[in-house]
Amino acid sequence: WAEDGHDLWLRYRPVEAGAGYVPTAIAPVADTPTLRIARAELERGLRGLVGAAPAGADRVILIGTPASSPAIAGLDLPLKAAGEEGYLIRSATFDGRSATVIAANRDIGVLYGVFRYLSLIQTRQPVDNLAIVSAPKIKLRMLNHWDNLDRTVERGYAGQSIWDWWKLPDYADPRYADYARANASLGINGTVLNNVNAKALSLTGPWIAKAGALATVFRPYGIRVYLSARFSAPIEIGGLKTADPRDPAVRAFWKAKADEIYKVIPDFGGFLVKANSEGQPGPQDYGATHADGANMLADAVGPHGGVVIWRAFVYSHEQPDDRAKQGYAEFKPFDGQFRDNVVIQVKNGAIDFQPREPFHPLFGAMPKSNLGMEFQITKEYLGFATHLAYLGPLYEETLRADTQARGKGSTVARVIDGDLDGRKLTAMAGVANIGTDRSWSGSHFDQANWYVFGRLAWDPDASSRDIAADWAKMTFSPDPRFVGPVVDLMMGSRETVVDYMTPLGLHHQMGRSHHYGPGPWVAGGERADWTSVYYAMAGPDGIGFDRTARGSNAVAQYAPAVGACFADLRCVDEKDLLWFHHLPWDYRLKSGQTLWEGLVTRYSRGVAGVDAMGKTWGDMAPYVDAERHAQVTAFLKIQRREAQWWRDASVSWFQTFSQRPLPAGEALPP
Ligand code: GCW
């Protein structure tokens, strides 16, 4: 069949002869919606990987919960560690046959366990002597779709929205179940259907019914539906004159709206809100606070078990201060004032999903609030769908960063999994890269970013390299001659993009508003603080944004030891140099090069990095079907050309300020 990528990492192609796996029978499974799906998945996977079990097969798999399976109840398994969503996989003997048991406290854990078991075979690990227990460390593992009601997708590069609103609720496209299945294979358990730049229309009856139809498809896969809420909805669809969260009529509107939604979607997850940011309405329009706004909505959904996810991505051009400081400045003072069912969703960095950002200063700074992580899976600032950039290392870098909020070892991962401050309601969201594209994500390698996001949401301490290896084996080939080079390629790919776009801590140098390609010269306009020139601060004297005490003092928003390090040229990592410092062109880097030379060298290194990826990929032809191999090859050519474009444009532009010659061996086109 067509290798168009639609199967994602769930391809289940036959294992090589002699790999040592044998056909296995599946013991009878209780008939519940989720267990039916789990059984079908197991059957599909096993049949594809190792073939159908012959009658009387001497190996058997038992799946279920103690409540649904007397056999499993009889095994008296230590299921406590599996929690509400986790699972246990054990090799055992049952009725004299050798058996594998996949057990959980709830049906959804069984489904997750089935996917895990199949992945063991997909990645060619032994399955004879298993003793696995796994439970998610984060409670809400969610995708955020920036999908509009007209099916365009903000910052989407993979076609239209997969939500076919026009035909909903009457027709449920089979893609919805495929989508739920893929997400369940990663343990993702929530999805926000519509863009955070929300329309009030999405909260009207007909649209609630459409969301309800999707929720019905997703439910047996353990996925809850959420909606982005427009803060001014009480005016737009409620006939009110205000959306002031302190106004009783406004509060009543939201309570009634929540009741209406829960009638249709009894397990509705809750609201995601972007308020008072980039022109969106919010409580500050009425002199009220983020806490007032979030708590009002929390009170509306709380009685139904819902949550409010309130974004900390706030900034406005009317605020003259460094944009990087605004989120912290607006939220930190309200620590402890948000309801228990509110999550403050914080982007990984303080500006906006750049190829590299230091971790957001809010992590560790609000111990009395639920702080969730927001990563971007779609590559708004990293070359859209064609540039190959595996984001695992980006996510991992943020998760492992040490906030030092409670001394050394206070990693961002421990903030968001609740461990550091004993928080129970924990969350990690990824802005989806999913669309109607045949390969779902716009390119084959962009599937890896969806995959690694899901895996890290389950376990934020997992290794992005291990995850890349699993993905590469499942998606392409488990042949070590493929996996070794391709995992190395993936692991280096994001740094390569950093090199040719924004080396040494530069940021936001992309073209205006579309964010594709170089635009370091972008300046002025209504919002000077949104532009490249403002972020690079290049001039005859040097380059970089001074966030030390001499400049915007953004470093003061971090724990003292962390801020002191960022501010200190002897301590700050050169990867973040120009994020925190404005330095002369002749400043000496650790390598002994001047800053100017080091910049140029890094841009060139980025171009060379794409060349190297192209070579490696070329060598992989024997291990990959021609169809997918050709697409990746073509996209790498685009990336090579555009890396050069980035380098040449950036070096030319900055040379007008540095007024220095290029280092030996470097040249620009005439
Ligand atoms: O990354 C920026 C994008 C906007 C986006 C905004 C946000 C949804 O350029 O398109 O709007 O951030 O996260 O709210």
Average confidence (pLDDT) over 468-477: 98
**What is the ipTM, given to two decimal places?**
0.99
Average confidence (pLDDT) over 238-242: 98
Nearest to 348 by CA among 334, 330, 363, 329: 363
Nearest to 429 by CA among 185, 153, 140: 140
Helix (H) or strand (E) holding 428: strand 427-431
- pLDDT on residue 58: 87
Mean pLDDT of the residues in the chain: 97
Share of the chain above pLDDT 70, in %: 100
User: Which ligand 1 atom is nearest residue 513's CA?
Assistant: 9
Which protein residue has the closest C-alpha to ligand 1 atom 11? 197
- pLDDT on residue 6: 95
Q: Which of 4, 260, 278, 421 is catalytic?
A: 278
Alpha-carbon torsion (215, 218, 219, 223), positive or negative: negative
Q: C-alpha 574: how far from its chain's center?
A: 26
Which protein residue has the closest C-alpha to ligand 1 atom 13? 313
Reduced to 3 states (helix: H, G, I; strand: E, B; else coil), residue 171 is: coil
Neighbours of 615 (CB within 10 A): 12
User: Which ligand 1 atom is nearest residue 154's CA?
Assistant: 10
Q: Decide if 572 is inside a domain.
A: no
Q: Decide if 171 is inside a domain.
A: yes
- Interval between CA 346 and ligand 1 midpoint (Å): 13
d(CA 29, CA 16): 29
Tell me, yes or no, whether 117 and 155 share the same domain.
Answer: no
287-343: pLDDT as tens digits = 999 999 999 999 999 999 999 999 999 988 888 889 999 999 999 999 999 999 999
Q: Decide if 94 is inside a domain.
A: yes
The band of 1, judged by pLDDT with boundaries at 50, 70 and 90, is: low
Neighbours of 60 (CB within 10 A): 19
Average confidence (pLDDT) over 521-541: 90
Domain ends where: 475, 491, 510? Answer: 475
Q: Decide if 230 is inside a domain.
A: yes
Tell me, yes or no, whether 305 and 222 share the same domain.
Answer: yes
Q: Are 511 and 361 in contact (CB under 8 A)?
A: no
Q: How many helices (H) and strands (E) does the chain have?
A: 19, 13
User: Which ligand 1 atom is nearest residue 353's CA?
Assistant: 1
User: Which ligand 1 atom is nearest residue 196's CA?
Assistant: 8
- Interval between CA 535 and ligand 1 midpoint (Å): 18
Q: C-alpha 543: how far from its chain's center?
A: 31
Domain ends where: 434, 460, 475? Answer: 475
- Interval between CA 376 and ligand 1 midpoint (Å): 10
Q: Which of 3, 322, 330, 352 is catalytic?
A: 352
- Interval between CA 178 and ligand 1 midpoint (Å): 27
Task: Look up the CATH number of the domain holding residue 67.
Answer: 3.30.379.10
507-524: pLDDT as tens digits = 999 999 999 999 999 998
Tell me, yes or no, whether 511 and 538 share the same domain.
Answer: yes
- Interval between CA 460 and ligand 1 midpoint (Å): 24
Q: Are 98 and 91 in contact (CB under 8 A)?
A: yes
Task: Look up the CATH number of the domain holding residue 513.
Answer: 3.90.1330.10
User: Which ligand 1 atom is nearest residue 347's CA?
Assistant: 13
User: Which ligand 1 atom is nearest residue 146's CA?
Assistant: 8
Tell me, yes or no, whether 321 and 410 share the same domain.
Answer: yes
Pocket test for ligand 1, best of 144, 145, 146 (most atoms within 8 A of CB): 146
Specify which residues 373 forms β-bridges with: 346, 428
Nearest to 62 by CA among 72, 54, 70, 74: 72
Q: C-alpha 389: how far from its chain's center?
A: 13
Six-digit token string for 504: 């040494």
Q: Are 500 and 527 in contact (CB under 8 A)?
A: no
Residue 199 structural domain: 140-475
Tell me, yes or no, whether 537 and 441 share the same domain.
Answer: no
Tell me, yes or no, whether 396 and 291 share the same domain.
Answer: yes
Kindly give the pairing relationship between strand 97-103 and strand 87-94. Answer: antiparallel
Pocket test for ligand 1, best of 199, 351, 352 (most atoms within 8 A of CB): 352
- Interval between CA 309 and ligand 1 midpoint (Å): 16
Annotation says 236 is catalytic: no
Tell me, yes or no, whether 223 and 258 share the same domain.
Answer: yes
How many domains are there within the chain?
3
d(CA 528, CA 535): 10
Phi, psi of 202, rounded to the nearest 5 degrees: -65, -10
**Does residue 258 surpass a pLDDT of 80?**
yes
**Does residue 565 surpass a pLDDT of 70?**
yes
Read off the DSSP letter of residue 623: G
Pocket test for ligand 1, best of 144, 155, 315, 507 (most atoms within 8 A of CB): 155
- Interval between CA 318 and ligand 1 midpoint (Å): 18
Q: Please report where in the chains the tokens 């002699």 appear, as a residue.
A: 18
Reduced to 3 states (helix: H, G, I; strand: E, B; else coil), residue 514 is: coil
Phi, psi of 405, rounded to the nearest 5 degrees: -60, -35
Tell me, yes or no, whether 213 and 358 share the same domain.
Answer: yes
**Does residue 571 surpass a pLDDT of 70?**
yes
Which protein residue has the closest C-alpha to ligand 1 atom 3? 155
169-218: pLDDT as tens digits = 999 999 999 999 999 999 999 999 999 999 999 999 999 999 999 999 99
Tell me, yes or no, whether 522 and 645 share the same domain.
Answer: yes
Which protein residue has the closest C-alpha to ligand 1 atom 2? 352
Q: Are 180 and 218 in contact (CB under 8 A)?
A: yes
Phi, psi of 61, rounded to the nearest 5 degrees: -115, 130
Pocket test for ligand 1, best of 197, 374, 516 (most atoms within 8 A of CB): 197
Annotation says 574 is catalytic: no
Neighbours of 613 (CB within 10 A): 23
Annotation says 260 is catalytic: no
- pLDDT on residue 109: 98
What residue ranges line ligand 1, CB within 6 angstroms? 146, 154-155, 196-197, 274, 278, 313, 352-353, 380
**Does residue 504 surpass a pLDDT of 70?**
yes
Six-digit token string for 629: 């191999």
Domain ends where: 114, 133, 152? Answer: 133
Six-digit token string for 78: 């230590």
- Interval between CA 276 and ligand 1 midpoint (Å): 13
- Please write down the HEC assignment for all residues of 119-141: HHHHCCCCCCCCEEEECCCCCEE
Q: Are 5 and 439 in contact (CB under 8 A)?
A: yes
Six-digit token string for 625: 């079907």
**Does residue 668 surpass a pLDDT of 90?**
yes
User: Which ligand 1 atom is nearest residue 374's CA?
Assistant: 13
Phi, psi of 445, rounded to the nearest 5 degrees: -70, -20
- Interval between CA 141 and ligand 1 midpoint (Å): 20
d(CA 564, CA 545): 16
d(CA 650, CA 519): 8
Q: Decide if 561 is inside a domain.
A: no
Tell me, yes or no, whether 71 and 219 share the same domain.
Answer: no
45-102: pLDDT as tens digits = 999 999 999 888 889 999 999 999 999 999 999 999 999 999 999 999 988 899 999 9
d(CA 184, CA 190): 10
Which protein residue has the closest C-alpha to ligand 1 atom 12? 352
Q: Decide if 7 is inside a domain.
A: no
Lowest pLDDT segment from 69-73, 430-434, 530-534, 579-583 = 530-534
Task: Look up the CATH number of the domain holding residue 146.
Answer: 3.20.20.80
d(CA 590, CA 312): 36
Q: Decide if 468 is inside a domain.
A: yes
Six-digit token string for 110: 């069984």
Share of the chain above pLDDT 90, in %: 96
- pLDDT on residue 524: 84
Lowest pLDDT segment from 89-98, 234-243, 277-286, 382-391 = 89-98
Average confidence (pLDDT) over 105-117: 98
Q: Which of 3, 107, 322, 380 is catalytic?
A: 380
- pLDDT on residue 530: 81
Residues 6+ apart with CB under 8 A from 394: 348, 355, 356, 375, 494
Tell me, yes or no, whether 267 and 178 share the same domain.
Answer: yes
Pocket test for ligand 1, best of 144, 147, 152, 154 (most atoms within 8 A of CB): 154
- Please write down the HEC assignment for all residues of 181-202: HHHHCCCCCEEECCCCCCCHHH
Tell me, yes or no, whether 344 and 198 share the same domain.
Answer: yes
- Please write down the HEC assignment for all residues of 215-237: HHHHHHHCCEEEEECCCCHHHHC
Q: Decide if 564 is inside a domain.
A: no
